[in-house]
Structure 1
């Protein structure tokens, strides 16, 4: 009787400690995830001049994370698949920020030749550098307009010309813009015809972008083949699931099926990345 009582007390204490530990760790993890998500969203969105409240994005993200397992349980009868997709969804914001940053930087680079040409033309007409940049910033579209307006605002607050350019280079770390920054800084320090330098840089960058466009056109078929070959097994799996739901449903409800889906995901991802690496040509 004493042994049974001791075992019961020990089991109660163990379960209580386990529940307390899980609750404490989950609350700590949730707080850390909230802080990381909001701080990352605030920094990345501000860098892209997107003034969205991070808390609203966090609430939307959490609703999607908790609703996906329920949706997959209702429509596919599997909790595990919904949980796995929710985990992947929690990692998506980091890659989404990188994708948006890269897209914005490439758009900035494609606007550079026209922007430099406008600055050079204004300077040849008698305007100084600041006035030429201000005129260009008013006429160009974002992100060129946003970045150079911030550049002019920093100068009005007392930041040196070279330092303001370096700050912009930190926000737009592209090789093409680094070339422009170096050319403008050297021309101001050493002396020379800055308008002519900017005109030559504009012509050089325009030719480089044109060559990159030709290469993208030639490699677009390979990129599309990579996308098609990656999505084809998924499409076939969905079709077979609708044709034979009982047989294919075992992939979503049995451990062997989960392992098979994980293996398929790894192989498809590896194949897609390999094709992207083959067709990626750096100019």
Structure 2
């Protein structure tokens, strides 16, 4: 019966999601070195989410806990998204870290008289990592008939790295114009190393501010609103009415969500200098703050006997 449920769910996912979308998602998993079928992963996430949803829903009915706790049923999805974001960032960091040394080795082989494509092929045999995997894939595509320019521009599209994209464009332009590519690669590698050093120094200098924002968003704010809500309920239980008792739960959830979004944007701007990268912080901060909020409510309520 268990295998039959998985099979039926798998078939449902294939009907709901087009083959092109599944192929695109599968390619992303392969890039992140997650060698599992995307349909199997989506099947297990869907089933686990459904089970968690039913458990939390019945708990909320039996123990009278706010039905907002059902939102926690999305935790499996959030955890998987967090994992993918972490893997993608790790992949990008690895590519950025390996790029200067890769360019220097290509420049060294070019100075020794080797052709450009042969230089990449020779280096790919002795290197490892995400960047080398992309180079190997491009070389295979070239042997299968794709042009050098198209194969390497596809690397830039898949990796979403500014430095890599810039390096590939310079390599292609210099190759077509006949310039001295080895000298350009050496200068570029040195420039990328200097940029990486500046970024590391910047992250170190702002780390305390980021930690303050994280503590505020994940612990302080949710705990404060949980305390306010339980205190309001406690006052009502001893006969002191409060006209805000119906508004406080909605206001608390709304403020926590808005605060989490704003903190995520601020951290993205401070750490990455790009507000668009706030998504990787949102999927961490928002579920964590909501979990702390409801856990704090249950803990304080239990202590006060409410």
Normalised-by-shorter TM-score class:
0.7 to 0.9
**Aligned mates of 1:278, 1:167 — CA distance in 2:** 28
**Aligned mates of 1:136, 1:224 — CA distance in 2:** 40
Greater mean alpha carbon deviation, residues 199-208 or residues 268-277: 268-277
Residue aligning to 2:59: 74
Residue aligning to 1:263: 254
Instruction: Please list the CA deviations of residues 41-76 of structure 1 after superposition, one character each: whole Å capped at 9, or x if unmatched.
Output: 324313434321122212221222122234434386
Residue aligning to 1:127: 114
**Aligned mates of 1:40, 1:91 — CA distance in 2:** 20
**Aligned mates of 2:73, 2:24 — CA distance in 1:** 19
Count of residues paired in the alignment: 249
**Aligned mates of 2:55, 2:220 — CA distance in 1:** 23
2:36 pairs with 34, 47, 52, which one?
52
TM-score w.r.t. length of structure 1: 0.72
Greater mean alpha carbon deviation, residues 232-241 or residues 222-231: 232-241
Whether the aligned pair in 1 keeps the contact of 2:138 and 2:155 (CA below 8 Å) is: yes
Whether the aligned pair in 2 keeps the contact of 1:34 and 1:58 (CA below 8 Å) is: no
**Aligned mates of 1:87, 1:38 — CA distance in 2:** 21
1:1-283 alignment runs, 5 A limit: 34-35=16-17, 38=22, 41-72=25-56, 73-74=58-59, 77-78=64-65, 80-87=67-74, 90=77, 97=84, 100-233=87-220, 236=223, 247=234, 256=247, 258-273=249-264, 275-276=266-267, 279-280=270-271, 282=273
**Aligned mates of 2:173, 2:70 — CA distance in 1:** 55
Whether the aligned pair in 1 keeps the contact of 2:26 and 2:38 (CA below 8 Å) is: yes
Task: Name the CA shift for 1:227/1:216 in 2 (closer, same or farther; >3 Å).
Answer: same
**Aligned mates of 1:143, 1:281 — CA distance in 2:** 21
> Following TM superposition, where does structure 1 have runs of at least 4 consecutive aligned residues deviating by more than 4 angstroms?
30-34, 36-40, 87-99, 237-241, 254-258
Larger radius of gyration: 1
**Aligned mates of 1:32, 1:151 — CA distance in 2:** 29
In the TM superposition, residue 281 of structure 1 has moved relative to its aligned partner by 6.0
**Aligned mates of 1:63, 1:70 — CA distance in 2:** 11
**SS of alignment partner, residue 125 of structure 2:** helix
In the TM superposition, residue 221 of structure 1 has moved relative to its aligned partner by 1.3
**Aligned mates of 1:267, 1:164 — CA distance in 2:** 43
Residue aligning to 2:284: none
**Aligned mates of 1:186, 1:260 — CA distance in 2:** 56
Structure 1, unaligned runs of 5 or more: 1-26
Whether the aligned pair in 2 keeps the contact of 1:70 and 1:79 (CA below 8 Å) is: no
In the TM superposition, residue 97 of structure 1 has moved relative to its aligned partner by 4.3
In the TM superposition, residue 132 of structure 1 has moved relative to its aligned partner by 1.7
Residue aligning to 1:13: none
Residue aligning to 1:8: none
Instruction: Please list the CA deviations of residues 74-112 of structure 1 after superposition, one character each: whole Å capped at 9, or x if unmatched.
Output: 386437234322357557756764554344223212210
